[in-house]
Amino acid sequence: MSGKLEVSFNSPQCGWMSIGFEDGENEFHTTTAHAPHENALSELLETLVSLLENENLSHTLKWNRNPEEFDFVFGKNGDETTIEIIEYPTEERDSSNSEKVFSHKGDARQIARAFHETFKQLYEERDIDEFEDNWHQPFPFEEYEKFKSVLNS
């Protein structure tokens, strides 16, 4: 099992956001774009809620950098939860050209708490950082509130 997961999503700038994942064994940092997967933040929060509410889950979240594309693959089987980040060199998502750039296994609640820390920071700084203008879409308030509620239950 990997160490404690740490997730960082920095304040967006001009439609781009720097993100990072570290767990003591693995590390991955990149920048991602707000489009074309415009619902990525909302879908990520919904996926985290599903990780907390279900015993079994398999979900692939699409995210892009342009021209690179990423799949964030979430899986849960009982007590074991995994996150894998797969990178594709183009938007075509050809698996023969893909590369696993990060993987983490751990507890669903600890993983959710790691994401909560970075979403909490984005939420608290959204006005200072002009989130909507810089990410070119609104902060996912409804999904964030549901995620916090489920995490704290």
Q: 22-77, pLDDT tens digit by residue?
A: 999 999 999 999 888 889 999 999 999 999 999 999 999 999 888 889 999 999 99
Please give the domain boundaries of the chain with CATH numbers for all domains. Answer: 6-144 (3.30.2450)
pLDDT of residue 91: 80
What is the reported pTM? 0.93
pLDDT of residue 14: 93
pLDDT of residue 1: 53
Measured distance CA(150)–CA(52) in Å, rounded: 7
Q: How far is CA 11 from CA 79, 98, 102, 112, 153, in A?
A: 32, 28, 22, 19, 28
pLDDT of residue 94: 86
